[in-house]
Amino acid sequence: MTGLSFFTGGLHCLEQYFDATLAQTIGMLLLLACLSLVIPTAAHSLGNTSPKGITQQSRGTAIIIMISYILWLLFQLKYNRELFDNPEKREKKKRKLTDQQRMKLEARQEVKRQLKRAWDAKINRANPPSTISITPVDSDVIASDSSDGPSDGEPDATLSYATCFITLIISTVLIAYNTELATRTIEGLLTDAGLSETFVGLIIIPLLNIDPMCISVANLDNVDLSISLTLERCMQTALMVVPFIVLLAWWMHIPEMNMEFDTFPVLALFASIIMVTYVVQQGKSNWLTGALLVKVYILIGLSSYYVGTAESIQ
């Protein structure tokens, strides 16, 4: 989704800029989480470590990863909050418009200004203008108007704590129910369609968790929010969910639950994280960058389709 966001956003702007500090920090934490999966897998595959040793190693690694997640929360929400509240902004590079496109844009912006003046006049109990004239406007004025936020007369959308809490509970129940249904149908999907567990785990199941909002906000040139909806969500899963499951299994006396995975998914994850971390180093993106990330996803999906079929597993 990060690649699609960069690609679609790059179609509207020559270059899009985002906070490089935030992206680099998320990339480093993703690499740390990936290393926590690579090391136990390599220890079992190359070091001939016993299953008991892998389990103990995974539990120690899970504690370290959970501490790293807590440090990230402190870094983001308390000690270095200014970096996220006031990120470094750079002027975006827009594509050149044709004369016809510029005239249409000028007309729309003039109509919006006239309607806003009419609304303000109505608020002040004044008579709104009877006619709206459309005249060409300088491009600098258009750029300044397009960057304005909502008008002062528009109320802010707010939700009460009770509404948020009830919505959270309902969403959690629905997600748990849908997850249970998806888990029950995986075995039938493997048998009927002849797909491998690797392909289903890497490609099919993540598609169910896609949030198209990251593409929408990238089209609005809010790449920071798009990265938060994609990379930061992956980081939270890797730094919080996976270690929490391992520690929960430790508490429930389930020794089989550890951080050892199959070699191919771990290597594919490690390579993709390195690629993403390298891409976000400069704090800017374009449509070609997004296309390259999408190609990496397609290559991983194509390879995982041929890694172990359902028949070979059985």
Co-location of 211 and 83 in the same domain? yes
Co-location of 228 and 282 in the same domain? yes
Helix ranges (H only) for 20-159 are 20-45, 51-74, 82-85, 99-123, 139-146
Co-location of 216 and 130 in the same domain? no
Domain membership of residue 247 (yes or no) is yes
Contacts of 118-121 with CB under 8 Å at 24 or more apart are 119/151, 119/153, 120/151, 120/153
Co-location of 175 and 57 in the same domain? yes
Co-location of 68 and 208 in the same domain? yes
Co-location of 61 and 27 in the same domain? yes
pLDDT at residue 90, as a whole number? 47
Q: Tell me the CA distances in angstroms from 85 to 19, 20, 150, 253, one per residue in order.
A: 11, 14, 19, 43
Half-sphere exposure of 83 (CA within 13 A, CB side): 15
CA angle 50, 306, 279 (to 5 degrees): 85
pLDDT at residue 146, as a whole number? 46
Co-location of 51 and 169 in the same domain? yes
- The H helix count followed by the E strand count for the chain is 15, 3
- Number of compact structural domains in the chain: 2
pLDDT at residue 222, as a whole number? 77
pLDDT at residue 149, as a whole number? 46
pLDDT at residue 96, as a whole number? 55
pLDDT at residue 164, as a whole number? 85
Co-location of 88 and 104 in the same domain? no
Domain membership of residue 152 (yes or no) is no
Q: Range of 107's domain?
A: 99-146
pLDDT at residue 267, as a whole number? 86
Domain membership of residue 174 (yes or no) is yes
Co-location of 232 and 142 in the same domain? no
pTM exceeding the 0.85 threshold for the entire prediction: no
Domain membership of residue 186 (yes or no) is yes
Domain membership of residue 117 (yes or no) is yes
Domain boundary pick from 111, 146, 181 = 146
pLDDT at residue 147, as a whole number? 46
8 Å CB contact between 26 and 231: yes
Co-location of 141 and 247 in the same domain? no
Domain membership of residue 153 (yes or no) is no
* 102 residue type, one letter: R
Domain membership of residue 11 (yes or no) is yes
Co-location of 83 and 110 in the same domain? no
Domain membership of residue 281 (yes or no) is yes
Co-location of 132 and 258 in the same domain? no
Give the chain's residues under pLDDT 50: 90-91, 129, 132, 137, 139-154, 310-314
